[in-house]
Structure 1
């Protein structure tokens, strides 16, 4: 039997992750079964389990992919030598998450699950570490260009602001998912006024 190439394995894995993202988005984490993901992928059970142990493993892969692309978005936004300001960093990440088609209510469900399920907590914390690193790097680049906002240096300023920026992102996600009539534009406008610029 011919051996499958690394490129083909990576492509198949990405195909399964994308199918899982669609399935989770359609039904939510709790109501999505491995059978749903397998049907969405159009592959055999063995093919999917050959890449992933189960639903948690799949969700962790979805989260890593979505958040990894946000890091790429932030790097690209700074590629012209003019790093985005903190509010723009927040908007780039949120716009990217929304562009993935991932239901924001799914993230809220997962945060809730993480409070009672240690394995899910590990999945969420792994995703948060990826996002936190992306935020720190983006903020550090901006503070290096704007030292007047970083009296203790760009590293300290970035580390101090990251929890606030992440909290604003979580607030946006939670309110978008939970509150009818939530005004996303007004929320982001408020963030622009509050954050260093």
Structure 2
């Protein structure tokens, strides 16, 4: 029997994850059965269960993958001297994550933001998923804090503000943007560039008259 290549195995795993993500975004975790996933990816139960034991493992894998991508992007930025400013870095990272999943749509809208909201909701019920998300969040915070440290060392940002405070604020910006996408429809990530640039350029109030 011919040996299955690693490329084939990776492609099959990708197929399952993308199909599951689409099902979860469309119907939610609880309303989605493994049978729905099998139908979406057009594979047998044996083919899917070879990779994932069930819905919880699928969800955890999707979350881990996304958080890993975001963390890696910020870690790459931290190695630049100096790193890109927030108005360039945040939209670039978010845009990259969205672009790799831009083919996933539900009712004509991108599926990824809806999926993120599903994940956040599910963490209240699923302790294992909550732990996966928390671990990913802490890693992203640490990566962002490293970027902030590089800003401060280069004189681009005041050194008297804790790096973690800035990291949390920038993460909140991304989270808020994703919520807007999920609730109100797709918005180009470029709007973050303009908005952040305007906030970063603020000075003191102008003298009267």
Return the TM-score normalized by structure 2. Answer: 0.71
Q: Tell me, yes or no, if structure 1 residue 93 matches structure 2 residue 93.
A: yes
Taking the TM superposition and a 5 Å limit, the aligned residue runs for 1:1-197 are 1=1, 4-74=4-74, 81-99=81-99, 100-101=101-102, 102-146=111-155, 149-151=158-160, 157-179=162-184, 189-194=194-199
SS of residue matched to 1:103: helix
What's the C-alpha RMSD, in Å, of the aligned pairs? 3.4
**1 or 2 for the larger relative contact order (CA 8 Å, sep ≥6)?**
2
- 8 Å contact from structure 1 (residues 176, 184) kept in 2: no
Q: Per-residue displacement from partner, 1:94-117 (whole Å, max 9, x unpaired)?
A: 223332234312212221222243
Q: Using a 3 Å threshold, how does the CA distance of structure 1 residues 84 and 28 change in structure 2: closer, same or farther? A: farther
TM-fit CA distance, 1:80:
6.2
Q: CA deviation at 1:7?
A: 4.8
Q: Larger radius of gyration, structure 1 or 2?
A: 2
Partner Cα separation in structure 2 for residue 47 and residue 57 of structure 1: 15
The whole-number CA distance in structure 2 between the counterparts of 1:17 and 1:137 is 31
Q: 1:13 to 1:81 in 2, by over 3 A?
A: same
Pairwise CA distance, 1:52: 0.9
Give unpaired runs (5+ residues) of structure 1: none
Residue 70 of structure 1 and its aligned partner are, at CA, apart by 2.8
8 Å Cα contact 1:139/1:158 also seen in 2: yes
Q: Which stretches in structure 2 are left out of the alignment for 5+ residues?
A: 103-110, 203-209
